[in-house]
Amino acid sequence: MLIERIKARLLLVATSVLLAACAAAPNQIDMEAEAARQFAEMRASIPLETDRETIDYIHCVAVAVVQELPPEYRDLNWDMAIFDSESVNAFAMPGGKIGVMTGILKAADNQDRLAAVIGHEIAHVTEDHAAERASRAKPSEIGVQVAAVLLGGGNQGATYTAYEALSAGAAFGLLLPFSRSQETEADVVGLKYMARAGFDPRESVPLWQNMSEQAGEAPAEFLSTHPSSEKRIDSLVSLFGETLALYNQAKAEGKNPNCGP
């Protein structure tokens, strides 16, 4: 079955990452090379979206956000894959890789909300969160995370359940994929990126409300990779004074994205 082939491929990738981590934390070049390899594996394993309208829409939003990045990131040759998947997910990887699962459109149901998602994921790259995580990770931590992701099949709730089952009482001593502080920083930085591109930062609030509804019953905050929805929304609202000023300035400069849908 397709899902079994995907899991087998991801397991091979995970094994190579684990072996590399045993030797040393990867430098930026190694990390970008590994990201490119994993990205290629995903493109070969997961069906890609073929609907032209959907592709153009997501591409339009991503391009607008990328144009507002610091020059060293804006000028990368960004590569994007849009996966035909019900998973409510998106990601960005070192070296300029963006992946969007079409299931994310259930929560990011307008261009501003999609921009909030893409801005958040790109912020993980521009703030070097993957490098920070790699430098702190232990091989045993990576092994548990990889196994949890594989068992979870890409579903956030199922992944948490698998992680809990594998690590049991040791969960408190293991690093989750991104720390809550990194998630909060990505929210802050990503919100600024989207606002500078002319997307309304206020739409980040209904986005995370939608995400919370999609996730269903969430685990306790101290065991989650993300801040609780309530705290996340409070944090976003506290930034509106700054981000709405950036948004209004972008509008005054003629930045008026019209991506749809």
pLDDT (tens, 9 = 90+) of the chain, 261 residues, equals: 544 554 444 444 444 444 444 444 557 788 888 888 889 999 999 999 999 999 999 999 999 999 999 999 999 999 999 999 998 889 998 899 999 999 999 999 999 999 999 999 999 999 876 655 555 544 444 444 444 444 444 454 444 444 444 443 333 222 345 567 778 888 999 999 999 999 999 999 999 889 888 766 444 443 344 555 677 788 888 889 999 999 999 999 999 999 987
Strand 90-93 versus strand 97-101 pairing type = antiparallel
Q: What's the one-letter identity of residue 215?
A: A
Q: How far is residue 88's CA from residue 96's CA, in Å, rounded to a whole number?
A: 21
Residue 228: what pLDDT? Answer: 57
**Residue 121: active-site member:** yes
Q: Considering just the CA atoms, what is the radius of gyration of the chain in Å?
A: 18
Q: What's the one-letter identity of residue 28?
A: Q
Looking at residue 254, what DSSP letter applies?
Answer: T
Q: Maximum distance among all alpha carbons in the chain?
A: 54
Whole-model pTM above 0.85?
no
> 208 with 232: CB under 8 angstroms?
yes
Map tokens 């998630």 to a residue: 183
Residue 189: what pLDDT? Answer: 94
Q: Which of 32, 34, 68, 121 is catalytic?
A: 121
Residue 68: what pLDDT? Answer: 96
Residue 110: what pLDDT? Answer: 97
CA distances from 152 to 3, 47, 68, 115, 124 (A): 11, 19, 34, 27, 22
